[in-house]
Structure 1
Amino acid sequence: MLRKLLFILSAACLLAYNAQAQGCSEPASDEGVSVFGYLQAQYDYGFAEGDNTNTFGFNRSRIGVMGNIPYDFSYYVLVETSPFKKDGPKAYLLDAFITYKRFSFAKVSLGSFKSPFGQELGTPCHSLYTINRSKFVNELTAPDRDMGLMVLGGSDTTLIQYSVALMNGTGLLVKDADKYKDVVGRVLVQPFDWMHVGGSFRVGKATSQDETVTEPDERTRWGAEFEVEKYGFLVQGEYIWAEDKGSYLVGGGCGGDPELVQGSVEREGLSIMALYNLTYNFQPVIKYENYNSDLSLGNNNMEHITTVGFNYFFNEWTRLQVNYEYKAEWANEISNDMIMVQLQVRF
């Protein structure tokens, strides 16, 4: 694990954090309410064994409000309305937090928000360079949203940015039922305006859902990342190592429900992505990721996913994404590749 962490950090040094708070954007005015949101209409074509599938739907359909309250407070609320998320056709709360921001080096937020862990999870869903987040990010960062208290500081013009949060550890819209909490944090160092390197961590405990078990479940996460953006090129890399004792989560991701699995496991994932900003608002993109969902099985549990495609921007608010995902399972490859086309509008 340590060698892979050092590899990513070293690669960054040889080769810009897009500063985001825990929300998708920041209030623009000193007073009043700003309404914002985005809609992602999508077509998926899946290559299955002898029975290809295709469907139209909404990946995400979100609307929210945000604003500033004199003199040092802001608020942010975001709701998911897509009928294809979280148990069917119903709207539900994603984010809702209040921020005290008098000091830029130590802002404080309280409420429900994304866990401050990692590069892809920290990227707003409407700003992802590929339609899907990496599979290992979805699984190893779960729960991706939670209730808690966060302290954060810095910006894309400072050498260091950080965020650290005390969170329930139970996930979205789930009340904490025990005395334990998770501590989650992320630190970025930006020595140049075109490069940053960073690391993340998560440690926590929870009462086991198995009534015969007296010891609490434990989870530990470590992550490393880099980003280089220069001469029209953008290169990103991320690595996450995870250890769970007692039980662990599988699946989940942005707006999804992870599945709880009893048992202990070590997992890891790695991704690297590159794109180039061509003229005429066109971005070709390629991303490679691998994910080992059980390190005790060696490479027999390894999955490789390569995404190739492009982004085309009609204007500042409208984007077309086309992706092909080639999925290769190490031990027993199956036909499960995907073609995805997504049209996004922001407002």
Structure 2
Amino acid sequence: MRQTNSRASIDGLKAPTKLQWLVNPITALALLGSFALMGADAATEQRLKNIELQLDALQKENTSLKARLQAEGLGGTGPAIVKGAGKENKIQLGGMLQAQYEAGNTPDTRFSNADRFLVRRARLYAAGSFLESFSWKLEGEFGNANLKNNASYKALATDTYIAWTRYDFANVKLGQFKTTFGHEQLVSDSVLPFAERSLVSDRFTIGRQVGVAVVGDFYNKRLGYMVGAFNGPASNNGFNDNEKFTYTARLTGVPWKGKVGKWDSQWSVAVDGYASRDSLAGAISLPDFKFDSVPGGAIDDIFVGDRRVWAVDSQFKLGPLDFMGEYFHGFFKPANALPFKRINAEGFQVTAAAFVIPKKLQPAIRYETLDPNVDLRGNSSDEWVFGLNYFIKDHDLKLQLDYHLGNSTGAKDNQGRLIARAQLLF
């Protein structure tokens, strides 16, 4: 009797061959791998979607942040903004450096006849604002500050004030700042077409003082005003020389603003004035007028008495062309009647400038005259100034070359002086 083989078929099923034993596991592994790859593809796609969502959210957040910075005036390439320790909305830091070389003689009484290098201005400032419509500024001067032959530099305050800016028609400023008189005097030192202001502006205006002012404008800045009351004894003084204040007022208007051909055009006019009563304690220095507080000896140029000064100015801009002029008239009544009981003085300046290379090269010319006493002859001072401005990066980085040609008060011969200046704003 034949025995049945254990590998025989059972219930009609054949036993798997060796090849089948090998193929079946491979097939199973392939199926498992395909399922794994399908799962991996799904996971990878989900990760990519998540990354895209995150990038989209970051882009939206970045756009929103830029919009907020622009709305708050913090965007762009302006001065650095830092976070204050107090509750200010923002704080701004900046400064200005003006260094120059001078050579020649004395075209007017402000200059010496010695060649020199000069740090004309070196300023640092911090300014800030609050959401409650208050702002402030602290600025210090560390350079020569003027054209005098100062023996040593010392730190001085320039603009130091608090301002309330809630309404355009009435901004209130309290502290030390420029008095509201004289167009050329009010223009920033960094944007003037010449390195130095005109002699008539320096002699008739009263610079920075401690006091209060209200400034406003109407009709989209077509009409404006400035009024102020100040101690009187120049800047960096914490006293009033008497019980009187120096009062200033200025009214401005823009009769024309529009286009002439393809060029933007604007015509501005203004009238202003001030009144002051000065005592000897104030030590008000007014060169060129021959005032003398102490009879006998050398003239000290110190004025004591009453003075009234008024002025008119106008500016016209036509594309790359700029024209401006300013006229002053002053009435002085010295307390000691030196050099006369009453003195009427006047002076004016006219300026023209034009960009021959847009935003890069600007020649300029100015004529000015000062008559410290209209009742006398032969005591006036006339001066021409020829300038060339090269803008490397707007006013932030520019070079100025000026040549002054004029005669000091009472002098007959013209004398010249060259000024070469480099300016940096930061």
1:267 counterpart (331, 334, 345): 345
How far, CA to CA, are the matches of 1:96 and 1:197 in structure 2? 29
2:388 counterpart (310, 327, 330): 310
Q: Percent identity?
A: 24
**2:379 maps to amino acid:** N
TM-superposed deviation, 1:320: 0.6
Which structure has more strand as a fraction of its residues?
A: 1
Counterpart check, 1:170 vs 2:233: yes
Rg larger in 1 or in 2? 2
1:123 paired residue number: 187
Matches within 5 A, 1:80-119: 80-83=141-144, 85=146, 87=150, 88-119=152-183
Cα separation, partners in 2 of 1:83 and 1:137, compared to 1, 3 Å: closer
Per-residue deviation, residues 15-63 of structure 1 (Å, max 9, x unmatched): xxxxxxxxxx9999982211111100100011369x9632111111111
TM-superposed deviation, 1:290: 0.4
Per-residue deviation, residues 218-238 of structure 1 (Å, max 9, x unmatched): 110100000000132100000
How far, CA to CA, are the matches of 2:153 and 2:193 in structure 1? 27
2:322 paired residue number: 234
**2:230 maps to amino acid:** M
How far, CA to CA, are the matches of 2:417 and 2:159 in structure 1? 30
Q: How many residues align?
A: 306
1:337 counterpart (393, 398, 416): 416
TM-superposed deviation, 1:331: 4.9
In the alignment, structure 2 segments of 5+ residues that lack a partner are 1-77, 83-87, 258-265, 282-292, 296-303
1:76 paired residue number: 137
How far, CA to CA, are the matches of 1:71 and 1:227 in structure 2? 35
Paired residues of 2:106 and 2:407 also in contact (CA < 8 A): no
1:181 paired residue number: 245
How far, CA to CA, are the matches of 2:326 and 2:335 in structure 1? 25
Per-residue deviation, residues 179-198 of structure 1 (Å, max 9, x unmatched): 10111011111022211111
TM-superposed deviation, 1:296: 2.2
How far, CA to CA, are the matches of 1:264 and 1:61 in structure 2? 40
How far, CA to CA, are the matches of 1:34 and 1:263 in structure 2? 50
Cα separation, partners in 2 of 1:28 and 1:290, compared to 1, 3 Å: farther
Paired residues of 1:208 and 1:247 also in contact (CA < 8 A): no
**1:293 maps to amino acid:** P
2:269 counterpart (197, 203, 220): 197
**1:61 maps to amino acid:** A
CA RMSD of aligned residues (A): 2.9
1:139 paired residue number: 203
Which structure has more helix as a fraction of its residues?
A: 2
How far, CA to CA, are the matches of 1:261 and 1:64 in structure 2? 42
Counterpart check, 1:42 vs 2:114: no
**2:343 maps to amino acid:** V
2:222 counterpart (149, 153, 159): 159
Cα separation, partners in 2 of 1:123 and 1:27, compared to 1, 3 Å: farther
How far, CA to CA, are the matches of 2:273 and 2:267 in structure 1? 21
TM-superposed deviation, 1:239: 0.3
TM-superposed deviation, 1:332: 3.1
Cα separation, partners in 2 of 1:261 and 1:133, compared to 1, 3 Å: farther
How far, CA to CA, are the matches of 1:325 and 1:152 in structure 2? 35
How far, CA to CA, are the matches of 2:393 and 2:340 in structure 1? 47
Cα separation, partners in 2 of 1:71 and 1:309, compared to 1, 3 Å: same
Cα separation, partners in 2 of 1:105 and 1:28, compared to 1, 3 Å: farther
SS of aligned partner of 2:185: helix
**1:75 maps to amino acid:** W
After TM superposition, the structure 1 stretch with the greater mean CA deviation from structure 2, 52-61 or 163-172, is 52-61
Q: What is the TM-score with the length of structure 2 in the denominator? A: 0.66
How far, CA to CA, are the matches of 1:115 and 1:304 in structure 2? 26
